[in-house]
Structure 1
Amino acid sequence: MNISVCIATYRRPDRLRALLGDLLLQQRLPQEVIVVDNDVLRSAQIVVDDVCAAGDLPFVLRYAVEARKNIAVSRNTSVALAGGDWLAFIDDDERAPVHWLDTLAISAQRFSADGVLGPVQPLLPASAPAWLHRGQFYHWPRMKTGGIVPPNRLRFGNVMLRATTLRTQSPVFDPAYGLTGGEDGDLLARLALGGAQLIWCDEAMVSEPVEPARQSLRWLLLRSMRGGQDFARHKLAGRYGPIGSARRARLLGRALTQMMMAGLLALLCLPIGFHLAAHWLTKAAANLGKLSAFAGWHYREYA
């Protein structure tokens, strides 16, 4: 399998250096690695130059700068530069064990898939508040290998897609999501709606450190709100199937009801444990995000 690894990066040179080191050690090496730097100051260039200067690279390493601050455009640039039959996407702050790419490739062939998604294991430091450890806030649901990933669990960070399937989309990643996020779920939902078989591979795990800036209730609430907005935007755009006035009304009513119920449960759980109260607050924030999408307001997380 001819595989290109695509990395969109923004001011994480140390994390990028570690990730490129991981890719050099893969059991199944990619044919090329594409690094698209979304920083006009070219903060990733020194990392790429250092890796190239070491010599004897087992793959082609390409570097490009995307001056427009837009994660969707950056990812589109990586797709345009990639020449592989398969494109693997991994975030610039993740770490890939030696079997990562091989495991994705084997699953793609075994299940005749158009795309393979794998888990991302959060690495929360021991110094983080105890309620964060108890709440498991950074974990995502996992599945049995080979299962079709349902629409509400489609996410990037660890995914490999068939290039011919990916390039049926124009644009591949929608620039309208460039500062808000959600461009990944939008793409995968479009592919699934078009009949692409997107399967899960539970063995192809990567890890991701939870940065100090993300170890707070404020960050969790904002991320949950954005997640709710993403879901509602995709739903209203018909990414999960036709959406008529009746379904719009049900989505609105359900979000309002669930937001109020989650807020009440947060109050009731506060004496029992802060992690439980925080859990329900994130649910309330997610439903607030759904409601805000109806009003046309979008949290610009990447602005």
Structure 2
Amino acid sequence: MARVTIMIPTQRRPDGLAVAARSVFGQVGVDPATLELVIVDNDQVPSARPVAEDLAKNAPFPLIYVHEPKAGVANARNAGMAKASGDLIAFLDDDEEAPAGWLAALLAAQDRFDADVVFGPVKARAPAQIVEHRDYLERFFSREGPAEAGILDRHYGCGDSLIRRAALPDPVSPFAAERNHIGGEDDMLFGHMGAAGARFAWEPAAWVWEDPVPSRLSLSYTIARAFAYGQGPSSHCAAATPPDRLGVARWMAIGVVQATLFGAMAGFKWLTRAKDRAEWLDRAARGLGKTFWWGPFKIQFYGRTA
């Protein structure tokens, strides 16, 4: 029977880490003897160690604490991979909570579709005090996909995923360190895997809750993040070997059109105080990101531990 590592990277979120880890302890339909939990603390000081030590007291399977002081989510995930013993690696973020059947659903889909990576839905929940733009904010932090389980022709992010280790281009350090400060290291990895013929699958039953930190539940954060997401296609083409200059030009042209059209619509929606005005601003920001994707326009969301 395959051994499974569940990995939770964390940075200064002790309460969220505790919720995520305890949800992992409550998984059903999976033999605990095949499981281990790896917690990766990506803080300069080992701030998550006391939480991990407390959690380990009641863990139904081995809990491995890893301290990675070098800033960056790619560094954190690679440090966890170096200590993980699993043939399959399940990723859960430290602001997520997994229902009891989450892991069993991922494993069943992996076996059913012989998948190299399985993704599941993410359902964001905002605190009750968030009223303005609530629907938009919850959708922004959620992940939606097909209604039925099946093979995918695309990939999603790393949170709420199950990866077959043997399918990774590098089984120990698969995440690109150059993405530590801007994110997208998982998109880059899955893009390379897809180009190499990896098999992606979707399982709607393998869903998790996400509780975004309150400081992120604002348009100032989400629109900046939308801009950064928009930069992805252009920057991926630029980072290809050799660089895909035609691809960069195509995405930049698409971005100009999107920023112009969606921006005009966002302005109209804002003047009329339409309920969906934030959605259009988000789309315009993503278009703008495709056009302004290089050096000085990069926004740093990750890679800070101080």
Is the TM value for this pair above 0.5?
A: yes
Amino acid in structure 2 at the alignment position of 1:58: P
Amino acid in structure 2 at the alignment position of 1:154: Y
Q: Which moved more, 1:256-265 or 1:26-35?
A: 26-35
Determine if contact 1:122/1:209 at 8 Å carries over to the other structure: yes
Superimposed CA distance per residue, residues 178-207 of structure 1 (whole angstroms, 9 cap, x where no aligned partner): 011111111111111111101111110000
Given candidates 97, 100, 106, the residue that maps to 2:99 is 97
Given candidates 225, 228, 238, the residue that maps to 1:236 is 238
Relative to structure 1, the CA distance from residue 21 to residue 147 in structure 2 (aligned partners, 3 Å threshold; closer, same or farther) is same
Superimposed CA distance per residue, residues 105-129 of structure 1 (whole angstroms, 9 cap, x where no aligned partner): 0110011111100011001122112
Q: What does 1:9-88 align with in structure 2 at a 5 Å threshold?
A: 9-27=10-28, 28=30, 29=32, 31-54=35-58, 57-88=59-90
Matched position secondary structure for 1:130:
coil
Determine if contact 1:145/1:199 at 8 Å carries over to the other structure: no
Tell me the residue number matched to 1:184: 186
Tell me the residue number matched to 1:225: 227
Superimposed CA distance per residue, residues 196-236 of structure 1 (whole angstroms, 9 cap, x where no aligned partner): 10111111000011322122111111110111122322233
Given candidates 132, 135, 158, the residue that maps to 2:134 is 132
Q: Which runs of 5+ in 1 are unaligned?
A: none
Q: Distance in 1 between matches of 2:45 and 2:249?
A: 46
Determine if contact 2:98/2:207 at 8 Å carries over to the other structure: yes
- 2:270 counterpart of 1:270: yes
Given candidates 155, 159, 162, the residue that maps to 2:161 is 159
Q: CA deviation at 1:244?
A: 4.2
Q: Distance in 1 between matches of 2:197 and 2:44?
A: 38
Amino acid in structure 1 at the alignment position of 2:301: E
Matched position secondary structure for 1:33:
strand
Determine if contact 1:125/1:210 at 8 Å carries over to the other structure: no
Superimposed CA distance per residue, residues 78-136 of structure 1 (whole angstroms, 9 cap, x where no aligned partner): 11111111000110111011101111001100111111000110011221123222674
Amino acid in structure 2 at the alignment position of 1:277: R
Q: What does 1:276-291 align with in structure 2 at a 5 Å threshold?
A: 276-291=276-291
Q: Distance in 2 between matches of 1:252 and 1:19?
A: 39
Q: Distance in 2 between matches of 1:42 and 1:245?
A: 43
Q: Which runs of 5+ in 2 are unaligned?
A: none
Determine if contact 2:116/2:198 at 8 Å carries over to the other structure: yes
Tell me the residue number matched to 1:122: 124
Q: CA deviation at 1:171?
A: 4.3
Amino acid in structure 1 at the alignment position of 2:206: A
Q: Distance in 2 between matches of 1:178 and 1:244?
A: 22
Q: Distance in 2 between matches of 1:179 and 1:247?
A: 24
**Number of corresponding residues:** 298
Tell me the residue number matched to 1:201: 203
Relative to structure 1, the CA distance from residue 275 to residue 41 in structure 2 (aligned partners, 3 Å threshold; closer, same or farther) is farther
Tell me the residue number matched to 2:253: 253
Amino acid in structure 2 at the alignment position of 1:148: I
Amino acid in structure 1 at the alignment position of 2:145: R
Q: CA deviation at 1:301?
A: 0.8
Q: CA deviation at 1:6?
A: 1.1
Q: Distance in 2 between matches of 1:274 and 1:41?
A: 46
Determine if contact 2:4/2:90 at 8 Å carries over to the other structure: yes
Amino acid in structure 1 at the alignment position of 2:142: H
Relative to structure 1, the CA distance from residue 218 to residue 197 in structure 2 (aligned partners, 3 Å threshold; closer, same or farther) is same
Matched position secondary structure for 1:148:
strand
Amino acid in structure 2 at the alignment position of 1:286: R
Q: Distance in 2 between matches of 1:175 and 1:138?
A: 24
